[in-house]
Amino acid sequence: MREHRSPSPAIGRQFQEGRSGPSGQRDAFLDNAKYLLIVLVAVAHSWEAVEGSRATKALYMFVYAFHMPAFIVICGYLSRNFTGRPHQIKRLITGIAVPYVVFEVAYSLFKRYADDTPDHAITLLDPYFLTWFLAALFIWRLTSPLWRHLRYPLPVALGIAALASLAPGIGDDLNLQRVLQFLPFFVLGLCLKPQHFEIVRRQEVRLLALPVLAGALLFVYWVAPRMKTGWLFRTNSAQQLDAPWWSGPVMTLLLFGCSLLLTVAFLSWVPRRHLWFTVLGAGTICGYLLHGFAIKGPEYAGLFDTYTWLNEPAGKIAVSLAAAIAVTLMCTPPVRRALRGVTEPDMSWAFRDSPNDQRPAGPHPGSFGTADESERMTRSTP
């Protein structure tokens, strides 16, 4: 961005409404970011199946330090207009709760039969593999009005995350450890304004991002043998990671700062213009929900035990490329249309009519689409 002055009100309105111009099109920057992040999610998941050298573990930790935090920040930003109006509640149920139920059952059955584990439990209270994010997003978005009414929402969210990190008794129900420990990123997104993204995309920020990213890579390579990756998953308390209780709040704050710094560095280099993959940013819900089958299928089939070369550097590159290509195909419009009955089901029969609810004109935003901003976009999901 050549000009460093504050964005004009018109630019702010366009970004806030998810538009790239007066035609009402989706904002290319957000769609580009979401596509690139979903590719990182799939590639990082594929690395879990191969043997981890120090370099592989370092790359794994580097990606995990910011890919989900950045995605959650964007989801929070797009949830700022969620107030619990009837049409928003309907879309919360049809776009998040329904896909969660369908894919939680689907992944559990896949685990039973593809992995030959017939006793694998089918439960909606203990999310399996990647379905935790839908449960978390449901809870976060439902509480959005509460966070907007607090005077200091982010410090409160950080306090809750810190307390969760030293509470091993929380249990696995709805993966609440992750819900609470990732909460600050969603709340941060709720607090952001279009002007903040304009600042992130300034030229000087992009230049500063380069040494930040390089330094982070060197640091994770050094820390990889010394740090448990469980800290990055946010699924356990400090005690469950065999660490002293006080390290939980300390790591919560340190990881939040590191993740935020890397998120800013990543977003600063996300292209602003419309590119070949921009349209795929509208289908990341499909890529997210489907790529788990492509990741777990070969693992259940023993592919990595049969073809041991996949654990070598060339094999890891091949696995990474395969994951990136697979999730890209899963984000394409034909897949979105085929999966629409699950990700955007028409369940008008299940809800009462609400004549007093002022529903904005616009298509269904999908399970990762949010509130009024997404409703002003063309049909899509983040």
pLDDT tens-place string over residues 255-287: 999 999 999 999 999 999 999 999 999 999 999
Neighbours of 232 (CB within 10 A): 21
DSSP summary character for residue 96: I
pLDDT in tens, 299-322: 999 999 899 999 999 999 999 999
Contacts of the segment 202-207: beta carbons below 8 A, 24+ positions apart: 202/1, 202/4, 202/268, 203/1, 203/2, 203/4, 204/4, 205/264, 205/268, 206/268, 206/269
Using DSSP, state whether 19 is helix, strand or coil.
strand
Could you tell me if 327 and 287 are in contact, meaning their C-beta atoms sit under 8 angstroms apart? yes
Q: What is the dihedral of CA 48, 54, 56, 62, to 10 degrees?
A: 100
pTM flag (> 0.85):
yes
CA quadruple 327, 331, 332, 337: dihedral sign: positive
Confidence of residue 27 (pLDDT cuts 50, 70, 90): confident
Give the pair of three-digit tokens for residue 76. 């929070």
CA distances from 164 to 155, 249, 259 (A): 14, 9, 18
Q: How far apart, in whole angstroms, are the C-alpha atoms of residue 7 and residue 201? A: 11
Q: Is pLDDT above 90 for 215?
A: yes
Identify the residue whose tokens are 């699924």: 235
Could you tell me if 370 and 332 are in contact, meaning their C-beta atoms sit under 8 angstroms apart? no
pLDDT in tens, 359-373: 554 444 445 654 444
